[in-house]
């Protein structure tokens, strides 16, 4: 009996323990596992604002340059893309031109010449604003590296030619010596598809703006100057040719000009700047077998357009370089790009000290 009671007691205790354990399990809630933490999201950065590629950019400098060649793009253009063929790695002023004009520093100028922009607002600058920006950018760049007496040749496409012309007119009118220096150093301008007398460029630009959307912004100031019978265009052209005549009367060195015109129509538009608008009477005019948008894009040294453009630049640069050399024997040898001849003592006549021959005198 005792053993039985012990066995019963042990079982009773075991049941009691099991019961207490079960009760404890029933009463005590399970230990909660750690709650899942939300994934840490990366801190969002504000979208970077795209900076329009404006101002002067250096494309090439051999370190021994004696001439500045400055490229100015046109309507809806870009300071590098305008001059780059579709499949080219880089622009031809950077990759091809130095092989033809080895003694030139190559610069390019950018400005917002969009008449419409699907990304947002477009620049409301007028031609005169762009011209002033071009003038000050060139003067500042050349002052910074002490090359402000170096001869300049401009290469301008489309609207860029008008911006360049207006910049030189402003330079003549300004009292600041560093701005006038840009005009006095200018030896030549290549116009590529520049509408000197108005053209279909305004119509093409308006079509582009409409294709982007009615709610998008346009720049009427630029559109208006490109129309035929435009008062602004007449002002730019009138001021430019008056400046040229004034320089001739003062005995200043002339500015050489060559005009290139498109020979092929732009699909769906036609000739954007026809020959009669792209040429200047009395100056060389050369056709490029391409449309208005492709006439500045050369892919190799054998491209006919590149041969023509580089040929003019090489001819001018050689004449400028020759004019900078001392001349003691053949005093009658001269070209339109050379400086005034020296006298037998090797000195320049005091009244003919303008130009790049022995530095620029802009005090007059």
Per-position DSSP letters for 126-156, written without gaps between them: -HHHHHHHHHHHHHHHHHHTT-TTS-EEEEE
CA–CA separation, 84 and 78 (whole Å):
10
Q: What percent of the chain has pLDDT over 90?
A: 51
Lowest mean pLDDT among 17-26, 219-228, 272-281: 17-26
Lowest mean pLDDT among 74-83, 210-219, 246-255: 210-219
Per-residue pLDDT at 228: 57
| Position 36 in a domain | no
Lowest mean pLDDT among 76-85, 214-223, 332-341, 344-353: 344-353
CA–CA separation, 243 and 235 (whole Å):
12
| Position 257 in a domain | yes
Note the pLDDT tens digit of each residue in 42-98.
554 544 455 678 899 999 999 999 999 999 999 888 999 999 999 899 999 999 999
Q: Which residue has the higher pLDDT, 131 or 272?
A: 131
Note the pLDDT tens digit of each residue in 348-362.
333 333 333 333 333
Per-residue pLDDT at 125: 60
| Position 201 in a domain | yes
* Range of 6-20, 120-134, 182-196 with top mean pLDDT: 182-196
Closest to 65 measured CA to CA, from 180, 142, 167, 171: 142
Beta strands across the sheet bearing 152-157: 55-60, 104-110, 67-72, 152-157, 186-192, 256-262, 284-288
CA–CA separation, 150 and 83 (whole Å):
24
| Cβ density class 197-231: b for 16+ within 10 Å, e for less | bbbbbbbbbbebbeeeeeebbbbebbbebbbeebe
**Degrees, nearest 5: CA angle 252-145-148:** 5
Which residue range(s) make up the domain with 203? 55-322
Note the pLDDT tens digit of each residue in 259-276.
999 999 988 888 888 999
CATH number of the domain residue 126 falls in: 3.40.50.1820
Contact 248, 180 (CB under 8 A): no
Angle between helical axes of 177-185 and 127-144 (0-180°, round to 10): 90
Angle between helical axes of 231-250 and 159-173 (0-180°, round to 10): 50
Count structural domains, the chain: 1
Contact 183, 240 (CB under 8 A): no
Per-residue pLDDT at 358: 34
Beta-ladder partners of 258: 190, 284
Contact 71, 101 (CB under 8 A): no
Please indicate, yes or no, whether the overall pTM of this predicted structure exceeds 0.75: no
261 CB burial (10 A radius; 0-12, 13-18, 19+): buried
The H or E element containing residue 105 is strand 104-110
In terms of residues, how long is the chain? 364
| Position 291 in a domain | yes
């Amino acid at each position: 009996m005792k053993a039985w009671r012990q066995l019963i007691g042990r079982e009773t205790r075991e049941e009691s323990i099991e019961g207490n354990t079960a009760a404890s399990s029933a009463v005590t809630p399970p230990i909660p596992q750690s709650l899942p933490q939300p994934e840490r999201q990366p801190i969002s950065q504000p979208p970077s604002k795209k900076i329009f590629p404006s101002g002067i950019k250096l494309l090439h400098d051999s370190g021994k340059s004696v001439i500045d060649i400055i490229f100015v793009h046109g309507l809806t253009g870009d300071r590098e893309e305008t001059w780059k063929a579709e499949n080219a790695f880089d622009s031809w002023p950077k990759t091809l031109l130095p092989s033809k004009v080895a003694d030139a520093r190559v610069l390019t100028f950018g400005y917002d010449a969009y008449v419409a922009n699907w990304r947002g607002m477009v620049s409301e600058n007028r031609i005169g604003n762009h011209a002033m920006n071009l003038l000050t950018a060139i003067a500042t760049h050349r002052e910074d590296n002490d090359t402000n007496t170096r001869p300049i040749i401009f290469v301008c496409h489309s609207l860029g030619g008008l911006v360049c012309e207006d910049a030189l007119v402003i330079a003549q009118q300004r009292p600041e010596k560093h701005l006038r220096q840009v005009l006095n150093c200018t030896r030549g301008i290549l116009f590529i598809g520049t509408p000197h007398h108005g053209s279909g460029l305004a119509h093409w630009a308006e079509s582009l703006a409409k294709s982007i959307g009615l709610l998008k912004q346009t720049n009427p100031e630029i559109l208006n100057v490109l129309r035929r019978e435009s008062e602004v265009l007449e002002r730019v052209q009138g001021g430019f040719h008056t400046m040229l005549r004034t320089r001739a009367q003062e005995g200043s060195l002339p500015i050489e000009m060559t005009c290139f015109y498109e020979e092929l129509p732009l699909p769906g538009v036609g000739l954007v700047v026809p020959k009669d608008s792209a040429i200047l009477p009395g100056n060389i005019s050369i056709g490029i077998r391409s449309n208005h948008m492709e006439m500045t894009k050369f892919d190799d040294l054998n491209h006919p357009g590149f041969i023509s453009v580089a040929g003019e630049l090489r001819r001018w640069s050689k004449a400028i370089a020759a004019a900078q050399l001392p001349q003691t024997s053949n005093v009658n040898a001269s070209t339109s790009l050379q400086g005034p001849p020296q006298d037998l003592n090797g000195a320049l006549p005091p009244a003919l000290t303008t130009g790049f021959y022995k530095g620029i005198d802009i005090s007059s």
